[in-house]
Copies of this chain bind each other. A is one copy, B any other.
Amino acid sequence: MSSIKYDVIAVGNAIVDVLAPATDAFLEELNIPKNAMNLIDEDRATSLYAAMAAGKEASGGSAANTVAGVASLGGSAAYVGKVADDQLGEIFTHDIRAIGVDFNTPPLKGGPATARCLINVTPDAARSMSTFLGAAGLVTAADVEAGADAIAASRIVYLEGYLFDRDEAKTSFVRAAELAASAGRKTALTLSDLFCVERHRDAFKDLIANHIDILLANDAEIKALYQTEDFDAAVQMAAKHVEVVAVTRGADGAVMVRDGNTVSIPAEPVDTLVDTTGAGDLFAAGFLLGIAREQSLENAGKMGAISAAEVISHYGARPESELNAHISDAGIAL
């Protein structure tokens, strides 16, 4: 077995977020599903952007936010994802490297632009996301192969469910899981989004049964996967197929299962809830690093909850303060 270089390596959609304030009436008028992720084509991206308020741009992408969180927590992290050879691609590349994540996937030339996620944030801090996938969906098997050594040298390989929305990406995704397994590493998956689960339920179930050791989801996603309204039943069903399950429940905290042992933790309190963009991604950061470092299930969950609390207290999906300081303050030593 090769030596360990990273706590977590992620494969995901490399996206730049455009965050703007919006009203609920605006979401209705523009047919934007609230608190979910909706895939849009370039024409819709143009017309929706034209209708949106003035915004701020910041690097995003679910699994990219997670590895940014891992780095901020003091972990080591790498990322595989596809940007285009354009200004937004440069911004994405700069930001993920600036926070300390290794990112070496070559940018796409001559194809679609870097992916953009148009995020309308309503006054209740809910985020409603419309994503033009662009270059992000074009992660190739070759990109994953180029990251094979990094995958083999990572404690956990983390896969973003959103990638299932493009067939080419899906293949790369399964390849990453195979590379991890053959190196004796753990593979983690997030279900990403309720609609994403609806679109790919059977494929997700197959993947979970065959390739996944650690499953992350929120309450709506896990219930949708098993088509039940019974939250606890859904969590226990997942636990039959994987070693570790962690399911977030917004303000109600999270429920985790490992070795038949179920642990619930509360959400971390926040002074002012500003923007929930990135909450699940940052929970995943703390939780995965906790698991990678052999923390107790409770401590790993607390690391997730603390990381999520930081990111929802400001606009944008990546940490703005050093998360490792918050973890030390909570008495957790990595």
Contact = CB atoms under 8 A, between A and B. Distances in A.
Interface residues of A, number: 28
A333 interface: no
**Most chain B beta-carbon contacts within 10 A, residue among A50, A54, A91, A99:** A54
Interface stretch (A55-63, A158-166, A238-246): A55-63
A91 B57 contact: yes
Q: In the assembly, how many copies of this chain are there? A: 2
A54 B99 contact: yes
Given A87-B87, A87-B113, A88-B87, A98 B57 contact: no
Contacts of A53: 98-99
A49 interface: yes
A286 interface: no
A316 interface: yes
A202 interface: no
A199 interface: no
Interface of A: 18, 20-21, 49-50, 52-59, 68, 86-88, 91, 94-96, 98-99, 113-114, 316, 318, 320
Given A53-B98, A54-B98, A57-B57, 15 more contacts: A18-B91, A20-B98, A52-B94, A54-B68, A54-B96, A55-B58, A55-B94, A55-B95, A55-B98, A57-B58, A57-B91, A86-B86, A86-B87, A87-B113, A87-B114
